[in-house]
């Protein structure tokens, strides 16, 4: 069966669908063409089958289609341009928890991601958004973000009029962004209480300064990330600056997903994809050392943990030709307490050995 169609207006052969040809060459919309040529197919049988399988449709002037993201069918948008849509990362490593996050974004479930620092929680949200072409507004609720920043404040404009300037939350709700709130376990309690009304099913936001009731856009999504689950820091790594969160507030999140460090093989894949000139044998040794050190920290033998972020920084130095001992010193050892340096240095020396020359703790 052919995927070629013949335009009855100019006899030109066109692949799969006549619609772009009609619009560009004849300035005719499909509806007008159908009225003139009711028997003429606008697309081939193969293309029609593809449109049906991928659930392709036009909504508000934007082409929507179905896309598999981490094993979850999601609605993606074609040809959308927006400064807040992230660029896709071809080196991103998809893991099993990503499916739960993708499903939450697709079905407008409020999703709370927690896990150790540097495990890619924020990167996962951005990568899902990049795949389906959704804008993301990212804000850190690290205690410095005030209620005025989050909700809005009164200001004097250029005409010397006092006006209310909407903050981060109402802007995202009105414009249909994914609002990614990082470090929610360190946010001001007042901000948390404001969020409670949004976390309700079909929750609205009442701006008490103006009396305006903000109805969320259909595309608005709410995502939170944190190092702890809100019950305090069991490991002691995140005790400073983090708070125990209100159970009622935590209970309002539809989905909670734990994001941990990548399995060793996948972490090697990530490091190699980002820094391909670093020998894979060396990367395997680096990841083995990191695994041992993470287990040591879990057993309270270390006070700090070696994150994937630190490994990426280390590999970046190695790729630029730095000697391993110096790269390890500035990217890892100088960031940890003195009591951890000897253990970390010896662990890398044990695993890396001659590949990295002699290490100095």
pLDDT digits (tens, 9 = 90+) for 232-256: 444 444 444 455 677 778 888 999 9
Say what the pLDDT of residue 239 is. 40
Checking if the pLDDT of 312 tops 90, the result is yes
Say what the pLDDT of residue 250 is. 85
CA distance 252 to 196: 7
Of the CA atoms within 13 Å of residue 191, those in its CB half-sphere come to 27
Radius of gyration of the chain (CA): 26
CA distance 291 to 266: 13
Q: Are 186 and 243 in contact (CB under 8 A)?
A: yes
Q: Is 60 helix (H, G, I), strand (E, B) or coil?
A: coil
Say what the pLDDT of residue 57 is. 81
Average of per-residue pLDDT across 38-55: 82
Residue 125 has φ and ψ, to the nearest 5°, of -60, -45
CA distance 213 to 209: 11
CA distance 287 to 324: 14
pLDDT digits (tens, 9 = 90+) for 188-197: 888 888 888 8
- Cβ-in-10-Å burial (0-12, 13-18, 19+) of 172 comes to buried
- Cβ-in-10-Å burial (0-12, 13-18, 19+) of 61 comes to exposed
Checking if the pLDDT of 159 tops 90, the result is no
Residue 308 has φ and ψ, to the nearest 5°, of -60, -35
Say what the pLDDT of residue 244 is. 64
Say what the pLDDT of residue 236 is. 45
What mean pLDDT value characterizes the chain?
88
Angle at Cα 182 formed by Cα 210 and Cα 70, nearest 5°? Answer: 115
Checking if the pLDDT of 3 tops 80, the result is no
- Cβ-in-10-Å burial (0-12, 13-18, 19+) of 282 comes to middle
Say what the pLDDT of residue 63 is. 81
Tell me the whole-structure pTM to 2 decimals. 0.81
Q: Strand 72-78 relative to strand 178-182: parallel, antiparallel, unpaired?
A: unpaired
DSSP β-bridge partners for residue 65? 76
């Amino acid at each position: 069966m052919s995927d070629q169609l013949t335009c009855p207006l100019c006899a030109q052969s066109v692949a799969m669908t006549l619609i772009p040809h009609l619009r560009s060459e004849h300035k005719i919309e499909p509806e007008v063409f159908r009225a003139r040529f009711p028997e003429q197919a606008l697309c081939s049988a193969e293309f029609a089958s593809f449109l049906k399988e991928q659930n392709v449709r036009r909504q508000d002037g934007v082409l929507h289609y179905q896309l598999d993201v981490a094993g979850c069918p999601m609605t993606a948008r074609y040809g959308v341009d927006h400064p807040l849509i992230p660029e896709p990362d071809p080196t991103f490593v998809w893991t099993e928890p990503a499916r739960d996050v993708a499903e939450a974004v697709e079905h407008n479930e409020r999703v709370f991601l927690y896990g150790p620092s540097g495990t890619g929680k924020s990167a996962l949200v951005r990568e899902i958004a990049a795949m389906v072409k959704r804008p993301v507004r990212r804000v850190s609720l690290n205690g410095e973000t005030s209620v005025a920043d989050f909700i809005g404040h009164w200001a004097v404009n250029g005409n010397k009029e006092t006006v209310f300037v909407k903050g981060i939350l109402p802007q995202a709700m009105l414009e249909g962004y994914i609002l990614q709130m990082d470090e929610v376990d360190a946010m001001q309690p007042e901000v948390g209480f404001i969020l409670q009304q949004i976390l309700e099913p079909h929750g609205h936001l009442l701006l008490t300064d103006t009396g305006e009731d903000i109805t969320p856009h259909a595309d608005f999504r709410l995502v939170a990330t944190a190092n702890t689950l809100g019950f305090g820091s069991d490991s002691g790594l995140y005790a400073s600056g983090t708070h125990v969160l209100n159970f009622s507030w935590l209970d309002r999140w539809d989905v909670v997903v734990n994001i941990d460090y990548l399995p060793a093989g996948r972490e090697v894949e990530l490091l190699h994809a980002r820094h391909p000139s670093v020998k894979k044998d060396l990367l395997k040794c680096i990841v083995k050392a990191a695994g041992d050190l993470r287990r040591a920290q879990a057993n309270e033998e270390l006070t700090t943990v070696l994150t994937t972020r630190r490994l990426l920084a280390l590999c970046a130095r190695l790729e630029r030709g730095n000697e391993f001992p110096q790269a390890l010193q500035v990217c890892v050892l100088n960031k940890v307490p003195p009591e951890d340096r000897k253990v970390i240095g010896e662990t890398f020396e044990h695993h890396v050995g001659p590949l990295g020359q002699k290490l100095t703790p």
